[in-house]
Amino acid sequence: DAGVIQSPRHEVTEMGQEVTLRCKPISGHNSLFWYRQTMMRGLELLIYFNNNVPIDDSGMPEDRFSAKMPNASFSTLKIQPSEPRDSAVYFCASSLYRDRKYEQYFGPGTRLTVT
Amino acid sequence: DAKTTQPNSMESNEEEPVHLPCNHSTISGTDYIHWYRQLPSQGPEYVIHGLTSNVNNRMASLAIAEDRKSSTLILHRATLRDAAVYYCILRDGDDYKLSFGAGTTVTVRA
């Protein structure tokens, strides 16, 4: 299996620009997570999808952030407009929730730099 | 959320065992104990999890105290590739959330 795929791996953009991060979960998984990691705040859960439906978006920092999952094999995280404080590594993870087991498989991350 | 306490850092020599402690005194009966690790410049990686009994897999062993208020992740023979941040996380059996703390940074000396 290819694992969770994220693109791009690195993104450098200017403040005010729109940024779109992409994720392809592991085939057959029914749950998808977006996380953000910074030195100051560590690893934070932004949003959780189950069967393509957003279940918990309480971690989304503000309205500038939005996430979609149009089908079981693709998700996007969009920031519009971007700000320097959005600079972080963004991880996507997927999981198959079954029998109360919930191992999450993380992608390699997208390092976002907003100047 | 139930909380865990881990040492900030640990050092080990290559090919020696590493014992990583985790305290979780407020654990509830339905909380699973999960361990993940994050190698440099990579996403977190699942290591092992357990509920009440000790668990072994190809990566590590998990020893859970009888009262479940603490646990220890055991890497039997550390290699340089095991240098990473190790996270001990409690997850309620009916919940999807993993709350990552600061973890323990493990350094392996050659």
CA distance B62 to chain A (A): 16
Question: With the C-alpha atoms ordered B105, A108, B58, A32, is the resulting torsion angle positive or negative?
Answer: positive
Of A42, A55, A105, the CB nearest to B46: A105
Which of these ranges, A29-33, B2-6, B30-34, B38-42, has the smallest mean pLDDT? Answer: B2-6
pLDDT in tens, B36-60: 999 999 999 999 999 999 999 998 9
Whether A43 sits inside 8 A of B94 (CB atoms) is no
Q: Which of A26, A35, A36 is nearest to A2 (CA)?
A: A26
Q: Which of B46, B44, B24, B25 is nearest to B34 (CA)?
A: B46
Using a CB-CB cut-off of 8 Å, the residues of chain A touching B93 are 100
pLDDT in tens, A47-95: 999 999 999 999 998 899 999 999 999 999 999 999 999 999 999 999 9
Of B91, B99, B101, the CB nearest to A102: B91
